[in-house]
Structure 1
């Protein structure tokens, strides 16, 4: 009888362990970012210089090209992190979307199965490209959002940013804040992006002032690499977790680019990693609740050019004036957190 009891006890302990492991696997969540490269519709937006992406514009951007672009982007979004998280990302930050119409058309694509809703504000960009946040309402409930306007660097109104989209809400019964960015292009000098970084730092400092344990994710196309001054000095994101202090941030992409040679866009045969998802200190060392576990650049064979001068680069929408029917000149990035 005693042997039977011991055997049953061991079996129950083993079953409990297996169930615990399964439960842990089911509590992984993903967060993604993607610069979708000029997702314009075919309609002119008043006050915006979007003429290049009209049917009679330089790109001859007609319904066929727009429809294919939506289908291509939706395919990518529908596959992000699905090999590890069945439900896909909790949120997906986007850059280079023209307006609410393209977002509505995008989330209505069959590949996305109407799983996502979005937060978007019309920004000041002269061409009309904005940032947005897609979210799965089953996994994320927004409670507050705002587009924080950018201030020009020393009066430079040409290279100002698109503003900073700040969205707070609940993930797995915890409050998280996402800040979606698209900093000035490399057409501007480095101090312009340092200025953008300082503005984001002011936003995160204010969030920390309200809650020193704030779980914040800063994501976007920063137009700088992780080790550049804007990201590593002005914003202060660190390469190693051990160097992150209270009120600080960790940048996993620094190691991915510098030590592993993996990037998200290619220029003159060399990889850059502008598309970063940066993590606040409370997401690194939380004793309970959501905690960062991993990151990856999303790579699939179909996202790369197979031949020609730009072989090995991300397969973009246009190569010069030629329509390639591609995806984007950037690759998506993903982080994983678990509860």
Structure 2
């Protein structure tokens, strides 16, 4: 019997802001009159490039664009609408799930899905409660949970973007541990409702597969992380100076290893680090081809590579 392969992906889009001022968020760096000069031309160039990248994730193996794509760093519904109406996605049957989060910069997570293969049943968001040293709330991205039928099988998809390392890896680690604990609470709630639930947990975790926050998430919830083997000295999803990190990951409940007729099972995992997504010259050759480096416009895609897994239907 022939097996069918399907792609589930995650991609941090690096500051996908529109060009309009939002008084409720700190988007002032991404306006036409800002120092970065985020003009409509630059915006639509990025939209077009991201659409091309997304449409090709996993296509070499499946001959199709992804069934599901988790996204990070999207500002609002407008940028998602523009993305889906862009040149390389306009003919794809995609829709999305998105909620505005309390993140101070106004960047959120979202889930794109192929409406012909995924049917949303329920979607909701869960805040991550973290605090600064003075006790004030440190607003960050919510965790998005989408429950639906993927190829007629119930799955739960969690999309994450955990607190950054901006103020130091060790200094900010407690914030990512808090995010891992919130994610664990969501998983336990799902399992209380459905002990056999199939769960996909994807995101930019701002930690590597062997970091304490990810180990906490895995060990508390009987999860498998296929991304653990993809990080090396010369390979990852994002690069800071000469060091690679693999912050972008897709984990899943271990029942994706079960091979049952007409059910989805795990096949393989990979980085989507095609040459067109890479810096092609200079000291950072091979690193992700970014839209900006500091305030300097480069015209690239993102400072992260996408990741994906292949699921097969037996």
Under TM normalisation by the shorter chain, which class is it? over 0.9
Match of 2:72 in 1: 95
Match of 1:192 in 2: 175
Match of 1:33 in 2: 10
1:327 Cα deviation after fit: 0.3
1:67 Cα deviation after fit: 0.7
The answer to whether the Cα contact below 8 Å between 1:265 and 1:313 also exists between their aligned partners in 2 is: yes
1:286 Cα deviation after fit: 4.6
Whichever structure has more helix as a proportion of its residues is 1
Q: Please give the secondary structure, in 2, of the residue aligned with 1:53.
A: coil
1:161 Cα deviation after fit: 2.8
1:217 Cα deviation after fit: 0.3
TM-score by length of 2: 0.93
Alignment of 1:44-55 (within 5 A): 44-55=21-32
1:322 is aligned to 2:309: no
1:207 is aligned to 2:190: yes
Structure 1 runs (4+) greater than 6 angstroms displaced: none
1:91 Cα deviation after fit: 0.7
Match of 1:180 in 2: 159
The answer to whether the Cα contact below 8 Å between 2:155 and 2:197 also exists between their aligned partners in 1 is: yes
The answer to whether the Cα contact below 8 Å between 2:55 and 2:66 also exists between their aligned partners in 1 is: no
Match of 1:271 in 2: 244
Q: Distance in 2 between matches of 1:169 and 1:49?
A: 33
1:162 corresponds, among 141, 157, 172, to 141
Match of 1:218 in 2: 201
2:54 corresponds, among 48, 60, 77, to 77
Q: Distance in 2 between matches of 1:228 and 1:123?
A: 25
1:262 Cα deviation after fit: 2.7
Match of 1:302 in 2: 276
TM-score by length of 1: 0.87
The answer to whether the Cα contact below 8 Å between 2:128 and 2:142 also exists between their aligned partners in 1 is: yes
1:124 corresponds, among 96, 102, 106, to 102
For structure 2, the 5+ residue unaligned runs are: none
1:140 is aligned to 2:118: yes
The answer to whether the Cα contact below 8 Å between 1:107 and 1:115 also exists between their aligned partners in 2 is: no
1:236 Cα deviation after fit: 2.2
Q: Deviations over 1:58-84 (max 9, x none)?
A: 211111100101011001001111111
The answer to whether the Cα contact below 8 Å between 2:18 and 2:43 also exists between their aligned partners in 1 is: yes
Q: Distance in 2 between matches of 1:255 and 1:302?
A: 23
Q: Which has the higher contact order (CA 8 A, sep 6+)?
A: 2
Aligned residues: 305
1:107 corresponds, among 62, 84, 87, to 84
Q: Distance in 2 between matches of 1:114 and 1:48?
A: 31
User: Aligned-residue CA RMSD in angstroms?
Assistant: 1.6
1:44 Cα deviation after fit: 1.2
1:114 Cα deviation after fit: 4.0
Larger radius of gyration: 1
Match of 2:213 in 1: 230
Q: Is the alpha carbon distance of 1:167 and 1:271 closer, same or farther for their aligned partners in structure 2, counting shifts above 3 Å?
A: same
Q: Deviations over 1:101-146 (max 9, x none)?
A: 0000000012012421100001111111000000000010000000
Q: Is the alpha carbon distance of 1:56 and 1:321 closer, same or farther for their aligned partners in structure 2, counting shifts above 3 Å?
A: same
